[in-house]
Structure formats: C-alpha cells, structure tokens
Structure 1
C-alpha cells in the first residue's frame, strides 16, 4: 500500500490533517469580516486576492472550547470554490501510511468529522473528513 501526503495543523491538543491535493494554500492569520446572523461556526469572510472566501472556525466546528486565537488559515478546494479553515497552528507536510480507525476517545462533533488516524512517532494525526466539515447542516 502506498502512502499519502498530508498537510497538518493543530486544534488544541489535536494534530489534524488533510490530503495535500485538497489544500490550495496555507497562510498565516487573515483578517475576517464578521457575517451578521451567520452560523457560529462561520468565522467570517475574507478577501483572498480579490475573491471573497468564507472562513470556517475549525475549533468551533469540532466542538472544541474557544481558546487561542487562530494563527493559521488553510485554504481548501471545494466544489463551490475555495473555503478558508481557521486553525490554531500550521504544522508540516508529511507522508503517512497505514490508516487506523478513529480513536474511541473522540467525543462530540469531532467524532463525525474524522475519517481515521495515523500513528506518528510522537503523536496521532487525525484524518479530517473535509466534505463533512464543509457541510454546516450537520
């Protein structure tokens, strides 16, 4: 079985990742314009080189307590165009193989948003189900 390449980032204590082919670009913190009466998981809108992009607060989406200000933005490809995910910290691009089922210790919304996990030397990488994350009706 051949490995996969993932872009990693942190949300609280969790190391999470997305397949590199779903990621358009990785940026630092970007200013977001709040959207009145929007879903609480929507961080706002941002201007990405002239294109208006919706920002999703991934910490809120995963049901994690509010904490540190997101210092990273991961712009992902979706059928409707790019979407910006606000994350705590940007990680590395790594190669992984041998996916495992999601850990039984995951509870709350994060449980349904993780496809599986990869055991790394010093941590566990959670494989995010991006389409589920982008579907705010769940």
Structure 2
C-alpha cells in the first residue's frame, strides 16, 4: 500500500450536531461516507484474488499487517466494474471496520470532507434505483448536485443481498 492518508487528519474538527462525510465518486455520482467510520484513504497496489468470492469482492490486501477485504463499490451498487490491469494495480480505497473485520471500499475517486447540517438530510427519492435505495440512508441537496449518503452497515453486510 502506498499514499496513506488518515481521514481524520484532513477533516475539520466536528462540531456538535453536524453530519460530516468523506465524499467519494462512482462515475459522476457523489457519495457520502460518515467520517466516523472512515479509518484510512489509500492506494491499493497489490490484491490477492479470492476464488469463489461474490463478484463485489475484488480480493484481499495487506494494510499495515492486517488482512483487508477489498470491495468494489461500483459492483456493490450494481454498476459495471472498471477494467483492472493486475500488472499495474493502482486502486483508490477507503479503509473501514465493520463487526471487527477490516474492509477497503474501492472507489473511482475520493473528494473532500463535507460538514452538513442535519436538517438538510432528506429521505431517499422514490425514483432512486432499488440497488441504491437498499444501500443508502438519505440524500443532501448540494448547490449543484445530490450527495447520496451510504449506509455502510448495509454496504458491508454481505448477508443482505441487494436486489437487482
């Protein structure tokens, strides 16, 4: 792994009642990950493929001595995965913990940390794709786009299969 950036170091100090998100992009869509769940932002340069794993699981990687399950967020959202050149692997990843296990969400890009007022969190629009609805917890309308807030407990729970 290279280019380690603890998410907490770059974030503003939270203030009482704010909702703070690390933003990521999948294609053109802006997604928010609750900052208190994010442990690392890093570049994955070596992944071991796991035969028989669900298609969303890219493989396993070693992050500072921990075995981490790498999940393709594109595929978890039921979008086509980007082609990966295993010889020149350079994947942007968000490190998370869930139920005592370490995970890396592979994303297209990492953005900035946003601090938003809880009153701006809205329920999911009725027209949102079913796969996205199952994995999201709400939206924030920003000036020029919509921030979809992911429910990381659901994203990382592979016992809950997302309907197509």
SS in structure 1 at match of 2:17: coil
Q: Decide which of 93, 96, 105 is 2:127's aligned counterpart.
A: 105
Unaligned runs of 5+ in 2: 1-15, 85-89
After TM superposition, the structure 1 stretch with the greater mean CA deviation from structure 2, 101-110 or 44-53, is 101-110
Task: Confirm whether residue 96 of structure 1 aligns to residue 111 of structure 2.
Answer: no
Q: TM-score, normalised by structure 2?
A: 0.78
1:52 aligned onto 2:67: yes
Q: CA RMSD in A?
A: 1.7
> Per the alignment, do residues 19 and 2 of structure 1 end up closer, same or farther by CA in structure 2, a change over 3 Å counting?
same
Task: Give the deviation of 1:104 after TM superposition.
Answer: 2.5
Are the aligned partners of 2:66 and 2:102 in contact in 1 as well (CA < 8 Å)? no
What's the offset of the Cα at 1:68? 6.1
1:83 to 85, 93, 103: 103
Given the alignment of the two structures, is residue 62 of structure 1 paired with residue 77 of structure 2, yes or no? yes
Q: Distance in 2 between matches of 1:118 and 1:30?
A: 33
* CA shift for structure 1 position 78: 1.3
Instruction: Please tell me whether the aligned partners of residues 63 and 108 of structure 1 are also in contact (alpha carbons under 8 angstroms).
Output: no
Measure the CA separation in 1 of the matches of 2:149 and 2:128. 13
- 1:50-109: per-residue Cα shift (whole Å, max 9, x none)? 111101111000111223658410001212222100001111111112101112232131
Paired residue for 1:119? 141
